[in-house]
Amino acid sequence: MFHILIADPISDEGLDVLYKAKDVSITKETDLKSEELEKRIPEFDALLVRSQTKVTRNIIERAENLNIIGRAGVGVDNIDLDAATENGIIVVNAPNGNTNSAAEHTMAMMMTLSRKIPQAHSALKNRKWERSKYVGVEVKNKTLGIIGLGRIGTEVAYRAKGQRMNVIAYDPFLTEEKADKMGITYGEFEDVLSEADYISVHTPLMKETRHMIGADAFRQMKDGVHIVNCARGGIIEEDALYDAIVSGKVAGAAIDVLEEEPFQDHKLLELPQVVATPHLGASTVEAQENVAIDVCHDVLSHLNGDQVKNP
Ligand code: NAD
Ligand code: MLT
């Protein structure tokens, strides 16, 4: 019998894959505090999480029966990968299932930022008819700079072209040839910073990308640039973003992710130029079904001694 712990809310369509399997017992405990998880983890062969549960070294080192950690989503920055490897635990994710949702959310955030929709909506709900206060800007003919042209960055690039935007992208794996084929411009990091009217980041959060957009990067940007982060809090240095907005360098920012989640209190959220959502990029029915099904299949395959798709 394999014992699987579901530590974050995961779509029932995915869990059905596990419920239908033989010799599997499932425990759903989606509100465990870190210390409680440390105590409970030795009971389990597999652990399934989204981004909420932080799978720390302490937890991993107590997980004497754990074979696999499944992440229902892309980013594995909430899992101590070194500790997992040292302890012979495989980590699998579900990299494809939420690409579309994250790209759609990015576009929605960019448009909403440009047209000040949340601000106007709140004002009207408070019975204030303030047409002249909420004049926006068009995105057509503006340049979108994409940092990280992977699955989501690529989908955002195609959508932005559909909005008649020019796109320039930086990614260490992007070639001029690929950029040409996509009908976008290939740039170095500094080119993207200096040429873009909108900058959207789509890299993983790793030591190389942590705070890659800080005070120095903001200095290189155009005045009045718009910033979008639907990837990970921590890629953009939040104090530097705050200062850049207050100084007028940045016209506005749309952020789905913060360095500390769930947030306690955050000065960025006090600024009227900031529109924000609580890490909703992958929060669609479709994406949650896709990632849950994918990760549950991989967890089951591994427990049954078969190969996994997304190690
Ligand atoms: P991906 O791995 O397909 O793409 C990431 C790209 O970033 C790769 O092409 C890689 O070469 C590039 N990259 C790595 N280091 C870089 C650097 N220093 N500079 C520029 N580019 C660099 O990942 P993805 O599926 O497109 O996901 C992108 C990000 O979005 C991840 O951080 C992921 O966790 C996040 N995400 C967030 C949500 C959400 O709910 N907001 C949903 C899905 C994914
Ligand atoms: C991801 O990395 O897949 C996203 O952060 C989505 C999520 O898990 O909420």
Tokens at residue 191, please? 């080119």
Report the mean per-residue pLDDT for the chain. Answer: 97
The whole-number pLDDT of residue 265 equals: 85
Q: Tell me the pLDDT tens digit for each residue of 158-194.
A: 999 999 999 999 999 999 999 999 999 999 999 999 9
Which residue has a Cα nearest atom 4 of ligand 1? 150
State how far the Cα of 240 lies from the Cα of 127, in Å rounded to an integer.
35
State how far the Cα of 234 lies from the Cα of 257, in Å rounded to an integer.
9
pLDDT at 264 over 80: no
Helix axes 151-162, 99-115, angle to 10 degrees: 50
Ligand 1 pocket by Cβ (under 6 Å): 74-75, 95, 98-99, 102, 147-153, 170-173, 202-205, 208-209, 230-232, 256-257, 279, 281-282
Question: What's the whole-number mean pLDDT along residues 46-69?
Answer: 97
State how far the Cα of 212 lies from the Cα of 26, in Å rounded to an integer.
40
Q: Is the CB of 78 under 6 A from ligand 2?
A: no
Q: Tell me the pLDDT tens digit for each residue of 232-254.
A: 999 999 999 999 999 999 999 99
Residues classed as catalytic? 232, 261, 279
For the entire predicted model, the pTM comes to 0.97
| Per-residue CA distances from 263 to 89, 266, 276 (Å) | 30, 7, 12
Whether ipTM tops 0.90, in short, is yes
Q: How confident is the model at residue 226 (pLDDT cuts 50, 70, 90)?
A: very high
Sign of the Cα torsion 282, 287, 289, 290 reads negative
Sign of the Cα torsion 277, 281, 287, 288 reads negative
Q: Is the CB of 297 under 6 A from ligand 2?
A: no
The whole-number pLDDT of residue 263 equals: 82
Phi, psi for residue 90 in degrees, rounded to 5: -85, 145
Q: Which atom of ligand 1 is nearest to the CA of 282?
A: 40
CA of 40 to the centre of ligand 2 (A): 24
Q: How confident is the model at residue 85 (pLDDT cuts 50, 70, 90)?
A: very high
What CA dihedral angle connects 152, 158, 164 and 170, to 10 degrees? 60
The residues facing 252 across adjacent strands are: 226
